[in-house]
């Protein structure tokens, strides 16, 4: 049995990048603009934080591309086949993305952030402050292939 919930879109991303790519997400800024359903007061106090977690939808992933089992990340046979929940791929069952971004500014109904790996028009479903008091208190460990996968993720095209 599948339980379904309704999620209200709170904002959209305004960004110069119009197509999703695997790497080179270091562009300067992205603007998250609230929908008309939310007043600018919804962002009140956010500027007191340095970072925000942006939860968004990978809205351009076709249903037939969704992975529910395992695969080689980025279809690279040099990396192990791992389950969908052991990777951050966009072809996830609910097409949810999450990125912790540095807050640049909050003005009116707009939140400007650095290093958001979402394309222009991406629907935003939530914003959560990055707060050390609710973060994991132990050291994070991860397999070596994830470091290889992310090597160029936050670089610019000129860093190749």
Q: Among 96, 100, 112, which Cα is nearest to 43's?
A: 112
Superfamily of domain 11-63+91-131+138-159: YaeB-like (2.40.30.70)
Higher-confidence residue of 50 and 159: namely 50
Cα(57)–Cα(95) distance, integer angstroms: 6
Cα(94)–Cα(100) distance, integer angstroms: 19
pLDDT single digits (tens) 67-113: 888 888 777 888 889 888 888 778 788 999 998 889 999 999 999 99
Q: At CA 102, angle to CA 100 and CA 108, rounded to 5?
A: 110
Cα(145)–Cα(100) distance, integer angstroms: 21
Average pLDDT of the chain, as a whole number? 83
pLDDT single digits (tens) 24-45: 445 667 999 999 999 999 999 9
């Amino acid at each position: 049995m599948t339980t379904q919930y309704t999620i209200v879109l709170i904002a959209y991303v305004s960004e110069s990048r119009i197509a999703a790519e695997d790497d080179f997400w270091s562009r300067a800024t992205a603007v998250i603009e609230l929908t008309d359903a939310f007043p600018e007061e919804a962002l009140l106090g956010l500027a007191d934080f340095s970072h925000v977690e942006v939860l968004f939808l990978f809205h351009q992933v076709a249903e037939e591309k969704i992975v529910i089992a395992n695969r080689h990340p980025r279809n690279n046979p040099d990396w192990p086949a791992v389950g969908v929940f052991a990777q951050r791929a966009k072809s996830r069952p609910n097409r949810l993305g999450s990125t912790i971004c540095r807050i640049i500014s909050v003005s009116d109904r707009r939140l400007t952030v650095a290093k958001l790996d979402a394309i222009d028009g991406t629907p935003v479903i939530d914003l959560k402050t990055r707060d050390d008091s609710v973060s994991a208190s132990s050291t994070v460990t991860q397999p070596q292939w994830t470091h290889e996968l992310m090597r160029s993720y936050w670089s610019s095209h000129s860093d190749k």
